[in-house]
Amino acid sequence: MADKRPRKSSDGFVRERYKELLPLFRLPQDPNRVSPMENESSHLIAHLLSSMALSKAQSEELLKKAQSRINDFLGSDVDSLSNISKLYEEWDSKRKEIEQSLSLASDEVPSKVGKITRMIEGTCSEISNHCHEISLVLTDISKETCRTDDLYLLLKENFDKISQLTNAHAYLSIIEFVEHLSNRMEGYVANRETNTGRAIDEYKKLGELCVKINKTSCGHLRTYLIDTLKYWHTILKKDIVDDFATCMKNVQWPLVTSNNFLASPSADALSKFQHGLKRLMNIAIPFGSLSFAINDWKEFLAVSKQNFKKKLYMKSTNDVSREDFDIMRTLGSGSFGRVVLARRKNDNQYFAIKVLDKSKVLKTKQVEHTLNEKQILQAIRCPFTVYLEHFFQDNLYLFFVLPLILGGEMFSHLRKIGKFQENATKFYAAQVVLAFEYLHYLDLVYRDLKPENLLIDHIGYLKVTDFGFCKVLKKRTYTVCGTPEYLAPEIILRKGYGQSVDWWTLGVLIYEMAAGYPPFSAKDTMKLYERIVACKYHFPTNFSSDVKEIIKAILQVDISKRLGNLKGGAEDLKHHKYFKSIQWLPLCNKKLVSPFIPHVASPSDVSNFQRCSEEPLQVSSPLRKRFLFHFSGNSKTNRIDKPEWYFTQVLTWIRDHENFILNWVQPVYDDMGVGKSALAEFMAGLVELSLEKLQVDIEQAQYDDITFSHVVDEALAYERELRHTYLYPQALPGPVHILSQAQLFVKWLSMEKKYAREKMDIMIKSETAWTTLAGDADEDKVTEVAHSFLALLSTMSDRYSLLPQPGHRLQFLELVLEIIDDLRVSVLQVLHSEHNDPLHSKLPQVLNTVHHIRIALEQYDASPAILLLNHYRTQFNVLSAEESDSKSRANPLDEPAEGIFQSSLELLGRLESQLLTELCDNLMMEVKAKSRPYRKDKWYGMNEDDVDHSIVTLSGCGMYQALADQLHLVHGKITEKLFSTFWKMVANNICLFFLDEIVLDNYFNTHGGQVLEKDVNKFLIPLFQHYCEVPGTYFAKLQEVCRILALPTLSHSVKRAALCGSGKELLAALDIPLIHVTGDKLCTVITRRVDVVPSLM
């Protein structure tokens, strides 16, 4: 039986009404506070909503009652109403602070709004769970039920007052009630042949919803239910309705108190609040796109094919024209025209209009493709494709009116974050599978899949767009079309192909989403085609086994083995274990939560699209003609290897016309209230010309390394000049947006690496590489290598700082880290090639170089720009950790923050320590070589004449002289900071050397101990006075040992304790204070005195 409910096709009326309903989603100031008027306001809203599902006569009757109740109620307590209005204004201002703090992605909500956040945690959890369902139900209601202008006017007239009284919990409960009611009604109509008992049992469940409504509201909701049943009386069988009404009279309607009703469930406070708020802001907005209720995908495909055949060659009605729309701004531009944001005047609905220049279409012989695109767009209706709303034309242009998809291009989001996580890749790939299954069922082949042709809607789902290459195909075709990296082998080999090419592009897309770059790339097109035909590609290490398997199954050169092109078609893909977690029917109905939901604030918020230049000012028209004359065609100035010619020309025109635009054009803009910058529009028009020229030239220049590098250098200089000198708006695209395109960016990175390594090799092999720069000989001792290398890093930093996306800047930083590691390896190779004495080799200069670079990197690592990039990297790691299957894995935010250059700094620091140790070891070898006479001296046979405090012991002259000479020599070769570390290492080693190889290797009488104490205090320690005010602190242990050996006599108790090895007893028996020499060590030292063990002498 057909559905006889009256319908109204005015979608614009519905959308406008929902704009007015949107403020009801604001949250109350305090969830624990119940206004005496909230219950009554819930009744009013319930009555207003109830009229939506009734016949026109019933609606009009209820409208009169509702208007009367509104007038009576709103006039009853004006003071209370005013107070509530103030509370709502206060909450709204604080709510915006919370939203702003969340948008900044701070680690924690600022303290001044933390208290408010905690108050609304429970409410936000409920919003997050129900918003998507609410939006679907409201869409269904808008299409299936009666609407009257009286109801709209009533809502509009009283809405500001009602919204101030409405409690968010009560409102959501009413909407939830309407949702369940609608679902049950639709289900009952669909299963009208089922037995009466089952239908009644199903409807009994509606009573359970009243648990969520407070006591006063229950009566009104029950009335609402009975009134709705009266409407259904005209559609359903009378006996069933009577039985149902009788049954419902016996239902016990449970009641709850307002306190229980407002109780907040426990949840993850901040994360649920943020996610719920985003979904609330995005999903609850009335976006003007089709919704689909698909119960059976196969049945949907069959019906779609019938409708497709009817509409494919249908002639356009031209029911709209250019005058029906307000053009607001440009969303994108291409070779044949541009896509603009437009607002329909009669209902304020927003669309994307694709405007094609007829002359360009004719000139490029794209008439057939354009006609195919128009016919296909008007005939398809799929949840994952765009479609044609209207089509019209004038003498110059063709206009395709399309739904506005507000999430932006997948390409932009992919380039922004670098690559997608596996769950996101799988989610998007599944939608492409369904889109291709739909198109192939209609005998269509798409042929142009790539991230640029996939849009993301406001709830995070995909829309396939740009059907310029799509065509009806019932047999093979031979046309070569598509993006080079995505071409299937059969297209390249011109064998003739069918729908199998689409599945190949799906495999390439999955790879690019997961890796961040396509599987096939090469310097020139022929090598690229060779790799595609040979199917040569490599998997990154982060790919899971499931990802590898499905890519291997799809990227098969033999189409008889290609997954998707087998007998099972798309079903083979759906049943692959890679898609095991995908619920296909909920996905068709967009019931699954997307892993990424773009921020969309309103139905006209196009902030997710890159800012494009608008139509240029008329004053720039002559300049545009001159540009095309000089820099296109066979003109001598049209050279790929000379981009600076047209860059300079554009900058010259901007400079020459700046004053004219500011003094004559801008005042006219201001008088007309245009609200735009005339100079920005003038610049945008000229810059757009140069970017179109750059896009064409660089695609050819990329196959020659020298030309490509020159074009990149000039483009970056042009970008810097535009942004810094002429203040070209950051929101508008510049040359780096072209350089950031996937293939060009990979090429750019490879060239940067190549030239950086070449420059590094040249600087290291230079004859003056390790010489100290003039002016730095005394302190820093900066070598030519260190200076040149840091200049290279600075140049690279300046280049990547112009990139707008942090993901691209991070990729450049990865290259910088590689270059730093290459330098470290090159330095080690230089050292290993040296066989000289370290002090007379390049080791000191290498040490200075490593130290200088490490200090510079430490400062760079702490700069604001690098800290910001590190924060972005940390956030990306957090998302990766959340998607990890390991529940025991620690949260990256709980771990200590690590700088981007931390690993490089650790390696350089380790190398620096190794080189210092090598220098120190070399010095000790020289000292030890000269110390033999001193070590072998007869310390046990010294007499009083040997204790001369004015001269050093004769046997130690060579050793002390060698130590002084080596310290002086090293001091002159390395920096002050390095030498400060070095001499302390030497002091420690000298102290150990004296203890181990002089004291413990000899026996001392009293005079021998006094001689050693004199040498240490008068000659050894003073050698270090040039580097430290109190050098004795570094020889404290040695001084204590010498003092023990120099004691004139020892008591019997001391000797006995030393011979018995009792350290504690020995410390107690000695009269001198000791700090650094422990008891066990003390016993060993005392036993080196001849008066303690004379028989061992």
Same domain, 939 and 922: no
Closest CA to 16 of 171, 173, 142: 142
Q: What is the mean pLDDT of the chain?
A: 73
Q: What CATH number did the domain enclosing 787 receive?
A: 1.10.357.50
User: With a cut of 50, which residues of the chain have pLDDT below it?
Assistant: 1-60, 62-63, 66-67, 69-70, 72-89, 91, 94-95, 98-99, 101-182, 184-186, 188-289, 777, 883-896, 1095-1097
Question: Which of 926, 947, 969 marks a domain boundary?
Answer: 926
Mode of pairing for the β-strands spanning 462-464 and 337-344: unpaired
Helix (H) or strand (E) holding 368: helix 367-379
Q: Which residues are annotated as a binding site?
A: 354
Cα(705)–Cα(699) distance, integer angstroms: 12
Asked if 1080 is an active-site residue, the reply is: no
Task: Please name every residue paired with 393 in a beta bridge, in sequence order, or none if there are none.
Answer: 398
Where does residue 180 rank: exposed (0-12), middle (13-18), buried (19+ CB within 10 A)?
middle
Alpha carbon distance 398, 361 (integer Å): 10
- Please give the structure tokens belonging to residue 671: 């008088």
- Return the SS3 of 783: strand
Contacts 24+ apart (CB under 8 A), 558-565: 559/490, 559/497, 559/500, 562/500, 562/503, 562/504, 563/503, 564/433, 564/436, 564/500, 564/502, 564/503, 564/506, 565/499, 565/500, 565/503
Calpha distance 424→585 (Å, rounded): 18
Alpha helices, DSSP H, located in 252-333: 258-261, 269-283, 297-311
Task: Please give the annotated binding residues for ATP, written as ranges.
Answer: 354
How many Å apart are CA 218 and CA 255, to the nearest integer?
8
pLDDT digits (tens, 9 = 90+) for 236-252: 344 444 444 444 344 33
The answer to whether residues 1014 and 1032 belong to one domain is: yes
216 located within any domain: yes
Is residue 325, in this structure, part of any structural domain at all? no
The per-residue pLDDT for 6 is 34
Task: Answer with the one of 884, 901, 926 that is the final residue of a domain.
Answer: 926
Q: Is residue 306 part of a domain?
A: no
* Residue closest to 998 by CA, chosen among 946, 948, 1047, 932: 932
Angle 115-121-123 (CA atoms, 0-180°, nearest 5)?
A: 125
Residues 685 and 744 in one domain: no
Is 607 domain-assigned?
Answer: no
Residues 565 and 627 in one domain: no
The DSSP line for 794-843 is: HHHHHHHTT-S-HHHHHHHHHHHHHHHHHHHHHHHHHHHT--S-GGGSSH
Asked whether residue 562 is assigned to any structural domain, the reply reads yes
Give the total residue count for the chain: 1097
Residues 986 and 938 in one domain: yes
What pLDDT shows up at residue 689? Answer: 85
- Cβ atoms of 342 and 400 closer than 8 Å: no
Scanning the structure block, which residue is given the tokens 């009641």? Answer: 255
The answer to whether residues 681 and 698 belong to one domain is: yes
Q: 899: domain range? A: 740-926
Domain of 518, CATH number, reads: 1.10.510.10
The pTM (predicted TM-score) of the whole model is 0.50
Summarised one tens digit per residue, pLDDT across range 867-917 is 877 777 776 666 555 544 444 444 444 444 567 888 888 999 999 999 999
Residues 1033 and 1076 reside in one and the same domain: yes
Separation of alpha carbons 95 and 32, rounded Å: 17
CA–CA distance, 735 with 286 (Å, rounded to integer): 36
Q: Report helix, strand or coil for 420.
A: coil
Q: How many Å apart are CA 293 and CA 381, to the nearest integer?
A: 12
Distance CA 688, CA 690 (A): 5
Residue 334 and residue 357 in contact, taking contact as beta carbons nearer than 8 Å: no
Strand pairing category for 350-357 and 397-403:
antiparallel
Q: Of 448, 457, 502, 605, which residue is the catalytic one?
A: 448
Residue 352 maps to a domain:
no
Domain boundary among 736, 765, 791: 736
Judgement on whether residues 644 and 661 belong to the same structural domain of the protein: yes
Measured CA to CA, the distance from residue 386 to residue 290 in angstroms comes to: 10
The total of structural domains in the chain comes to 5
Based on the fold, state whether residues 660 and 565 are members of the same structural domain. Answer: no
In a domain, residue 558? The reply is: yes
* One domain, residues 666 and 761: no
Token duo for residue 974: 């390395």
Which three-class secondary structure string do you get for 174-239?
HHHHHHHHHHHHHHHHHCCCCCHHHHHHHHHHHHHHHHHCCHHHHHHHHHHHHHHHHHHCCCCCHH
Task: Say if residue 71 is in the same domain as residue 141.
Answer: yes
The DSSP letter of residue 385 is B
Residue 806 within a domain: yes
631/657 same-domain check: yes
Distance (Å, whole) CA 106 – CA 294: 40
What is the Cα–Cα distance from 712 to 710, expressed in whole angstroms?
5
